[in-house]
């Protein structure tokens, strides 16, 4: 199991004998950061008398090389955003012998993902879900998942994750969308505040074409906010980034889907 960062082409690992158990959970809440996912799990691991020997985040871990040098479950159990993940390795000496545990947390636009790998005596593995991390999963669900207003207030941006577009089109699909209602409510509560809707694409096609498409999609969202949700046009702007700001790998279909999105960014500089 990894015990240090990927460096100089090497991922330091420690060999532990025992039964290997791999588990994964999908946390169907939007807006959680990887730190919010990890914190209650880390606390639970410590409460269960594990000693944390190594912890890292994304690029500090070694980025792409670390992720692909680490044992992971395949999709759909785990969908790993190589641009945003955290890893933790811990050990303890149990009644039946040494145990080692790793946590890998990541998030996509739609959900958070948690993976636990446990190596130790067989008598301990059956207790893993309820003893090692089980209680913390409930804590994750109870964390302030970050309403859109909370995200805009804390980080200045949020992904409008429930938007769908007609296939091959910049036209926003019909129907009510919770994220747009939440944004409309936010802007109604802050009538002096302005935001930009920023479209993003995957890396298929040329940059110019993708910037144009992403801007048209952002514009479609803006028009829907004005026409259906009563938002003042003066509070809105629409821009496109094309494929210049990915949040997932464009090498997989799942990653490309994550990258096709519209975000909202607060552009006001005074409260």
167-190: b (≥16 Cβ within 10 Å) or e = eeebebeeeebebbebbbebbeeb
What are the DSSP calls for 134-168, one per residue?
HHHHHHHHHS----HHHHHHHTSEEE-TT--B-TT
Model confidence pLDDT, tens digit, residues 234-265 = 999 999 999 999 887 888 776 787 788 899 99
Q: Which of these ranges, 13-27, 114-128, 134-148, 247-261, has the smallest mean pLDDT?
A: 134-148
> φ, ψ for residue 174 (rounded to 5)?
-70, 160
Handedness of CA 76, 202, 229, 173 (dihedral sign): negative
Quickly count: other Cβ atoms within 10 Å of residue 204's Cβ.
12
Considering the segment(s) 148-266 as one domain, its CATH architecture is: 2-Layer Sandwich (3.30)
Q: Residue 225 corresponds to which tokens in the numbers above?
A: 């906010």
Mean pLDDT of 263-269: 94
Mean pLDDT value across the chain = 83
Q: What is the pTM of this model?
A: 0.52
Mean pLDDT of 82-93: 89
Per-residue pLDDT band for 231 (boundaries 50, 70, 90) equals very high
What pLDDT, on a 0 to 100 scale, did the predictor assign at position 31?
65
Model confidence pLDDT, tens digit, residues 17-75 = 888 888 888 887 666 778 888 888 888 888 888 899 999 988 888 888 887 888 888 87
User: Does residue 71 contact residue 100 with C-beta atoms inside 8 Å?
Assistant: no
Report domain extents, the chain. Answer: 19-142, 148-266
What CATH number labels 19-142? 3.30.310
In order of 66, 165, 234, the CA distances from 33 in angstroms are: 20, 26, 31
Task: Report long-range pairs for 90-98 (Cβ below 8 Å, ≥24 apart).
Answer: 90/45, 90/50, 90/51, 90/52, 90/53, 91/16, 91/50, 91/51, 91/53, 92/48, 92/49, 92/50, 92/51, 94/120, 94/121, 94/124, 96/120, 96/121, 96/123, 96/124, 97/18, 97/121, 98/16, 98/18
């Amino acid at each position: 199991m990894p015990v240090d960062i990927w460096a100089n082409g090497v991922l330091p690992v420690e060999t532990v004998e025992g039964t290997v158990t791999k588990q994964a959970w999908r946390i169907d809440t939007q807006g959680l950061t990887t730190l919010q996912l990890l914190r209650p799990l880390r606390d639970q691991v410590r409460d269960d008398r594990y000693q944390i020997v190594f912890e890292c985040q994304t690029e500090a871990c070694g980025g792409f090389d670390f992720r692909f040098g680490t044992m992971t479950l395949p999709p759909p159990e785990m969908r790993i955003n190589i641009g945003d993940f955290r890893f933790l390795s811990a050990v303890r000496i149990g009644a039946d012998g040494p145990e080692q545990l790793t946590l890998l947390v990541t998030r996509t636009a739609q959900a958070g993902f948690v993976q636990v790998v446990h190596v130790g005596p067989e008598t301990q593995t059956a207790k893993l879900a309820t003893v090692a991390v089980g209680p913390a999963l409930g804590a994750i669900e109870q964390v302030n998942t970050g309403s859109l207003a909370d995200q805009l207030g804390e980080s200045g941006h949020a992904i409008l994750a429930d938007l769908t577009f007609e296939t091959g089109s910049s036209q926003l699909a019909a129907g009510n969308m919770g994220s747009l209602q939440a944004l409309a409510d936010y802007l109604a509560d802050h009538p002096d505040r302005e935001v930009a809707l920023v479209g993003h694409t995957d890396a298929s096609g040329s940059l110019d074409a993708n910037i144009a498409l992403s801007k048209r999609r952002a514009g479609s969202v803006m028009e829907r906010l004005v026409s259906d949700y009563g938002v003042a046009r003066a509070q809105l702007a629409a821009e496109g980034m094309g494929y210049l700001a990915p949040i997932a790998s464009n090498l997989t279909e799942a990653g490309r889907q994550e990258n096709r999105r519209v975000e909202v960014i607060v552009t006001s500089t005074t409260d």
